[in-house]
């Protein structure tokens, strides 16, 4: 039973990181109908920012966890620049062209990091100095608690932002009908840029949370993490914020249980098998809805 509970807690922690990344996918897809496959590599950028900013913060007598601000700021800038340079010229282009461009941006960021920082993994200093938490005979790290709580708070805040604020309503309007939104006085360019900024900023948060649990950074760290988060978004219902959170937790739990009770080598295969199953049985995901198209 203790092993089972530990695997559940580990799964929720990993799933919370997947959920943070999946929220970024969901934000962009929900508004722009674009699957940004470079999103996973924004996490890699955030990880390197954490590596370089933590020593500076510690030398200045500041807590290491403030590196999250640097990671969010740089990931936000990278996300907005990517949207302006790579995606904006392709609005209205065939979806295949946009997909190829997204993959090309992912490869560009990975190879740029490879040139700048080499392929050798870089260690990450301790980010959160929090003692372990003990419940009965079960002990787990304080980072686990921080990751789970932080992910839930961000999801709730994002949902409130989308449903209640002026910019959130503008995002929903652009998502429903971009041309009608323009006629209502909504700046689609500004709305889309804000969407990319929020989604990329979430990647910066996810990078710090991931590096606090797995303290090393390398150029390809975002590839598999991004793919699993994409599966989580599809499972929960891509474009649905609570669905991204639910999908992330489920994928984290499935991966943790597979590693604990079946095989560590089969964990990735099981996760990708879930994607195939979802696409066959319920392509809209758990919380997604079928939307009819006018013809």
pLDDT at 294 over 50: no
Report residue 123: phi and psi, to 5°.
Answer: -70, 150
Residue partners of 269: CB distance under 8 A and separation at least 6: none
Q: How does pLDDT run across 100-125, given as a tens digit for each residue?
A: 898 999 999 999 999 999 889 998 88
Would you list the domain boundaries of the chain? 2-281
Of these ranges, 71-80, 128-137, 276-285, the one predicted with the greatest mean pLDDT is: 71-80
Say if CB 85 and CB 98 are below 8 A apart.
no
Determine what percent of the chain is predicted with pLDDT higher than 90: 16
Report residue 208 as tokens.
């710090």
Residue 295: band (very low, low, confident or very high) from pLDDT cuts 50, 70, 90: very low
| Percent of the chain predicted with pLDDT > 70 | 97
Architecture of domain 2-281: Orthogonal Bundle (1.10)
- DSSP letter for 66, please: G
Q: Token digits for 31?
A: 């508004």
Distance CA 109, CA 47 (A): 13
- Which tokens go with 285? 């995901």
Residue 72, SS3 per DSSP = helix
Q: How far apart are CA 290 and CA 271, in angstroms?
A: 24
pLDDT tens string 57-79: 888 888 888 899 999 999 999 99
Span 24-52, mean pLDDT?
87
- pLDDT at site 290: 60
Which three-class secondary structure string do you get for 243-269? HHHHHHHHHHHHHHHHHHHCCCCCHHH
Q: Residue 238: which of 37, 10, 77 has the closest Cα?
A: 37
- How large is the average pLDDT for residues 179-186? 82
What DSSP string describes 93-124?
A: S-HHHHHHHHHHHHHHHHHHHHHHH-SS-EE-
Determine the average pLDDT of the residues in 42-66: 90
Cβ contacts of 107 within 8 Å, gap of 6 or more? none
Are 49 and 74 contacting, i.e. CB atoms less than 8 angstroms apart? Answer: yes
Q: Can you give the pLDDT at residue 75? A: 92
In whole angstroms, give the CA distance from residue 92 to residue 108: 23
Q: What angle do CA 142, 148, 152 make, to 5 degrees?
A: 145
Distances (CA, A) of 145 to 40, 149, 228, 290: 23, 6, 22, 36
Per-residue pLDDT tens digits for 201-249: 988 998 998 888 888 899 998 888 888 988 898 888 887 888 888 899 9
Is the per-residue pLDDT at 136 higher than 80?
no
Q: What average pLDDT does the segment 155-179 reach?
A: 84
CA 74 distance to own-chain centroid: 15
Choice among 129-143, 231-245, 272-286 with the minimum mean pLDDT: 129-143
């Amino acid at each position: 039973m203790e092993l089972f509970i530990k695997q559940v807690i580990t799964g929720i922690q990993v799933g919370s990181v997947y959920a943070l990344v999946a929220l970024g996918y969901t934000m962009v897809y929900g508004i722009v109908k674009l699957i940004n496959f470079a999103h996973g590599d924004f996490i890699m950028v955030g990880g390197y920012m954490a590596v370089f900013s933590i020593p500076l913060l510690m030398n200045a007598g500041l807590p290491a966890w403030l590196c999250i601000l640097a990671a969010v700021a740089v990931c936000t800038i990278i996300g907005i620049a990517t949207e302006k340079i790579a995606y904006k010229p392709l609005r209205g282009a065939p979806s295949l062209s946009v997909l190829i461009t997204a993959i090309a941006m992912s490869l560009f960021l990975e190879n740029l990091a490879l040139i700048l920082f080499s392929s050798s993994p870089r260690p990450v200093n301790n980010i959160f100095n929090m003692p372990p938490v003990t419940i009965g005979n079960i002990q787990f790290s304080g980072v686990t608690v921080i990751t789970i709580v932080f992910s839930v708070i961000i999801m709730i805040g994002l949902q409130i932002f989308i449903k209640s604020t002026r910019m959130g309503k503008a995002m929903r309007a652009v998502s429903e009908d971009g041309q009608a939104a323009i006629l209502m006085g909504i700046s689609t360019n500004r709305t889309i840029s804000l969407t990319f900024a929020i989604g990329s900023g979430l990647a910066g948060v996810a990078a710090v949370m991931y590096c606090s649990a797995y303290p090393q950074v390398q150029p390809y760290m975002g590839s598999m993490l991004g793919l699993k988060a994409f599966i989580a978004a599809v499972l929960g219902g891509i474009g649905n914020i609570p669905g991204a959170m639910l999908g992330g937790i489920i994928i984290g739990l499935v991966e943790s249980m597979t590693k604990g009770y079946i095989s560590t080598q089969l964990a990735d295969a099981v996760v990708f098998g879930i994607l195939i199953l979802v696409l066959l049985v319920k392509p809209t995901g758990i919380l997604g809805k079928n939307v009819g198209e006018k013809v």
